[in-house]
Amino acid sequence: MYSLTVRDHIMIAHSFQGEIFGPAQRTHGATYVIDVCFQRVELDDDGLVVDIGLAGTVLHALLTELNFRNLDEEAAFKGRNTTTEFMARVIFDRMAQAVRAGQLGEGGRGLSALKVTLHESHIAWAAYEGTL
């Protein structure tokens, strides 16, 4: 399996519900470094997994919708704990939709899987991966 990864980041605010979260129940900020790994079985006719520039542009556009937002105030997340794990799935789903919509060009049509990793810090991260 071939893979190509692009990286970007977002800064958000949020809070959590539930005693397990301790002080994180209060509103706090997070800066996530986000890696999206695109995978395919065979390279395309140009020898690529996907156009790296286009992949980075699409990722940045998707993240702009979340950047500098208080996720507690976003209707899409009402009543949800926007944990690192949860947000990895949100970004996965949005990128998968972009792939299906052709936003990654013809090369994107041959992708077989994605993995989205959110780095919460240099010692902790979470990911979601799945097939397309």
Q: With a cut of 90, say whether residue 107 has pLDDT above it.
A: no
Average pLDDT value for the chain: 97
Q: With a cut of 90, say whether residue 85 has pLDDT above it.
A: yes
Half-sphere exposure of 87 (CA within 13 A, CB side): 31
Give a yes or no: residue 63 inside a domain.
Answer: yes
| 31-41: average pLDDT | 98
Give a yes or no: residue 116 inside a domain.
Answer: yes
Give a yes or no: residue 39 inside a domain.
Answer: no
Give a yes or no: residue 40 inside a domain.
Answer: no
Please state the domain count of the chain: 1
> Domain range holding 67?
2-22+50-124
| 102-123: average pLDDT | 95
Q: With a cut of 90, say whether residue 24 has pLDDT above it.
A: yes
Q: For residues 129 and 76, what is the distance between their CA atoms, to the nearest angstrom?
A: 21
We report the CATH number of the domain holding residue 87 as 3.30.479.10
Give a yes or no: residue 58 inside a domain.
Answer: yes
Q: With a cut of 90, say whether residue 93 has pLDDT above it.
A: yes
Give a yes or no: residue 31 inside a domain.
Answer: no
